[in-house]
Amino acid sequence: MKIFLDTADVEAIKWGVALGVVDGVTTNPTLAARAGRGFKETVLEICEICTGPVSAETVGLTAEQIIKEGRILAQWAPNIVVKVPLIAEGLKAVRQLSAEGIKTNVTLVFSPAQALLAAKAGATYVSPFLGRYDDIGQEGMQLVREIVQIFRNYNFQTEILAASIRNPLHVVEAAKAGADIATMPPKVLEQMIAHPLTDKGLTSFLKDWESVPDAKTVFAEPER
């Protein structure tokens, strides 16, 4: 499973990329606003830090406008993915952008029917929102399971990008369901790393290491 960071915070992206486990980045207008600087400069910087796919979202509401914005975004960097909302005009735009070889990520997907249409339109990625479903008392993960089943039935090449991830359990469940990618806030990636038993075990190992006779010298030799 690929891991994307869902943020426009360049420092957080630098941190994640340095870990060696981040495969891409997703942004949206809310995250762009939170970054507090120009959208283009932010996206360009992200595309330099992360060489994997970087989703940047259109804001037009007609196919014509979405296509225009998508073409502009696609020129910014080779790893840009044009993020398009799942509306009728968005589907038309995805069809055209895909025909031009521009990668697309269809976002704000809340039903398997919507995901099916995005795949038929030629989307590179489809982004079901899990957390926002959970927020209204429904199981978001069921959406991922159903999309996985449909895409497998018809061998769609569209990748399933589990979005609106709020905790490590969401990531694990999305992986078990067969999502291709999970995009998560940096905080969730930090939570995935941390475990109290790891910390406890490490403290105990380091304490015991002190009584190994050559503990202080064994790693002090110069590298060859």
Interacting residues toward ligand G3P by CB under 6 A = 6, 26, 28, 129, 131-132, 163-164, 183
Q: What is the CA radius of gyration of the chain?
A: 21
Nearer to ligand G3P, 45 or 134 (CB): 134
**Least Cβ distance, residue 146 to ligand G3P (angstroms):** 19
**Least Cβ distance, residue 164 to ligand G3P (angstroms):** 3
Among candidate residues 6, 8, 9, 35, the one with its CA nearest the CA of residue 23: 6
CA 103 to chain centre: 15
Nearer to ligand G3P, 59 or 218 (CB): 59
Nearer to ligand G3P, 31 or 150 (CB): 31
User: What does the block give as tokens for 211?
Assistant: 């009584």
Q: Which residues contact 173 (CB under 8 A, 6 or more apart)?
A: 141, 144
**Least Cβ distance, residue 84 to ligand G3P (angstroms):** 13
Whether the CB-CB separation of 6 and 26 falls below 8 Å is answered with yes
Among candidate residues 158, 171, 159, 104, the one with its CA nearest the CA of residue 131: 171
- Which of the residues are catalytic? 83
Nearer to ligand G3P, 125 or 129 (CB): 129
Whether the CB-CB separation of 4 and 25 falls below 8 Å is answered with yes
**Least Cβ distance, residue 17 to ligand G3P (angstroms):** 18
